[in-house]
Amino acid sequence: MRPFTVSMNLDNINFNGNHIVRRYEDIKSIFKSTDISLEGKNPVIYEVFESPVPEQQGHLIFLVTILYPGKVNEEFFMTKGHYHTVENTAEVYLGIKGKGLILCQTKSGDFEVAEISENRVVYIPPFWAHRAVNIFDEPLIFFGIYPAHAGHDYETIAQSGFVKRVFSKNGRVVIE
Ligand code: S6P
Ligand code: ZN
């Protein structure tokens, strides 16, 4: 592979790699309850633009995630969340726009909430699952980098979830 550059212009982002789009109907099972008001609209909850890099040890995948503002009933829009399949692989997020929380947890039950916003860097160590939550009324946009061979284990989170959820209650952000 040869060195390359891509544009970070957020008005027209395309890294020429995978473009993942997740709509309400694709991921509604991750939320505490279903929301009839979203059934017909089936809005895009988030999208991810990845770099065109082989999923091989030695490479790094970089990406931009755009997590749209909104709620499923009182629960803020969020990503599915995952452990890396190769568990001893870390990840770095750099906040570009918006405000959010990165929920992090380990299989032994440790839990941490990291704030992400413009110019804030979040370090997700090896063995920590991670899920982004948009707690603001604008898109949450962040850049990320992780080892290309890491892989994604969604199954563990699908089965046991995160220990905490993030809600909007009376205009306040509540983690419970
Ligand atoms: C990949 C990295 C992000 C997420 C993206 C969507 O390791 O953490 O690119 O994939 O933010 O989240 P999820 O949980 O649906 O993959
Ligand atoms: Zn990850």
Write the CATH number for 78: 2.60.120.10
Answer yes or no: is 103 within a domain.
yes
27 CA: nearest ligand 1 atom: 15
Q: Span 59-84, mean pLDDT? A: 98
Interface ipTM above 0.85 = yes
131 CA: nearest ligand 1 atom: 14
- Which residue's CA is minimally distant from atom 16 of ligand 1? 81
Number of domains in the chain: 1
Residue 10: phi and psi, rounded to 5, are -70, -15
Q: What pLDDT is attached to residue 41?
A: 96
Answer yes or no: is 1 within a domain.
no
Answer yes or no: is 27 within a domain.
yes
Domain that holds residue 113: 12-175
Q: Is 15 in the pocket of ligand 1 (CB under 6 A)?
A: no
Ligand 1 pocket test, candidate residues 152, 155, 156, most atoms within 8 A of CB: 152
The amino acid occupying position 90 is A
132 CA: nearest ligand 1 atom: 11
Residues forming a β-bridge with 95: 142
Answer yes or no: is 157 within a domain.
yes
Q: Is 132 in the pocket of ligand 1 (CB under 6 A)?
A: yes
Answer yes or no: is 72 within a domain.
yes
Ligand 1 centroid to Cα of residue 172, in Å, is 26
b/e map 148-167, b = 16+ CB within 10 Å: bbbeeeeeebeeeebeebbb
Answer yes or no: is 167 within a domain.
yes
Answer yes or no: is 2 within a domain.
no
Bridging pattern class, strands 99-105 and 129-134: antiparallel
* Structure confidence by residue, pLDDT tens digits, 123-142: 999 999 999 999 999 999 99
Ligand 2 centroid to Cα of residue 93, in Å, is 9
Q: Span 54-72, mean pLDDT? A: 98
Ligand 2 centroid to Cα of residue 40, in Å, is 30
* Structure confidence by residue, pLDDT tens digits, 77-116: 999 999 999 999 999 999 999 999 999 999 999 999 999 9
